Amino acid sequence: MVGDSSGRDAQRYFEQLGGLLAWLPEQAERVVALLLRAFERERSVFLIGNGGSAANASHFAQDLAKGTAPGLEAPRRLRAISLADNVGFLTALANDVGYERVFEQQLRTFAQPGDLLIAISGSGNSPNILRAVEWAREAGVETLGVTGFDGGKLRSLADHALHVPCDDMGMCETLHAAVFHFAMSQLRERIEERALP
């Protein structure tokens, strides 16, 4: 039987989660605007992250590539890919040049000026994320840093930021995912409204 303490812990947790939602609407709209611009300009969107953030990158990439299409026969799609999913390339790079370069080196292969990089790091201090963002900025790739805690170095390094001010990694990842789902649904609606070819 669940005791009173467990119920209070759950209440506190979800109240804290709910309180953090107030930080998100304006930031979420900016994320939508960045992605819509990438679609309109026929640019590619790359997503990177480690651990839970890699899982979020993977999920959001497939939502963007498939979920934003107005139909299965749509001639244009938002080109989005998670570089955390390219296992063969990622592990070869980790083995040969070190884990800190696994995303930067993939970007060197695939990215073009004007593309968008979404870099997800709860702490904002993951060395492989920072290195990728540094390279992207030098190469003319627009960057969005998605962070928690105090934002770390990523928050100020990236061109744009989505920041959840929370010291709980699980909450950060949950709220990042909430913004990503909002962005996907809004993009689909706006692409349909504008009848973009």
pLDDT, tens only, 147-185: 999 999 999 999 999 999 999 999 999 999 999 999 999
How many domains does one find in the chain?
A: 1
DSSP 33-85: HHHHHHHHTT-EEEEE-STHHHHHHHHHHHIIIIITSSSTT-S---EEEETTS
Q: Which two tokens stand for residue 147?
A: 């962070």
Say how far apart CA 38 and CA 56 lie, in whole Å.
20
CATH number at residue 87: 3.40.50.10490
Task: Determine, yes or no, domain membership for 110.
Answer: yes
Over 70: is that where the pLDDT of 197 sits? no
Using CA atoms, how far apart are residues 125 and 194, in angstroms rounded to an integer?
38
Tell whether 90 is covered by a domain.
yes
Give residue for tokens 């004007």: 114
Q: Which residues contact 75 (CB under 8 A, 6 or more apart)?
A: 197
Q: 68 in a domain, yes or no? A: yes
- The answer to whether 175 and 17 are in contact (CB under 8 A) is yes
Task: Give φ, ψ of 57 to 5 degrees.
Answer: -60, -45
Q: Is residue 11 part of a domain?
A: no
Indicate whether 14 belongs to any domain: no
Looking at the whole model, is its pTM more than 0.85?
yes
Instruction: Give 127's pLDDT tier (boundaries 50, 70, 90).
Output: very high
| 18: in domain | no
**Which domain covers residue 54, as residue numbers?**
25-194
Angle at 179 between CA 129 and CA 8, to 5 degrees: 105
Percentage with pLDDT > 70 across the chain: 95
Is 17 domain-assigned? no
SS3 at position 119: strand
pLDDT at 195: 67
What whole-number percentage of the chain has pLDDT above 90? 87
Contact 180, 65 (CB under 8 A): no
Q: Could you tell me if residue 89 is inside a domain?
A: yes
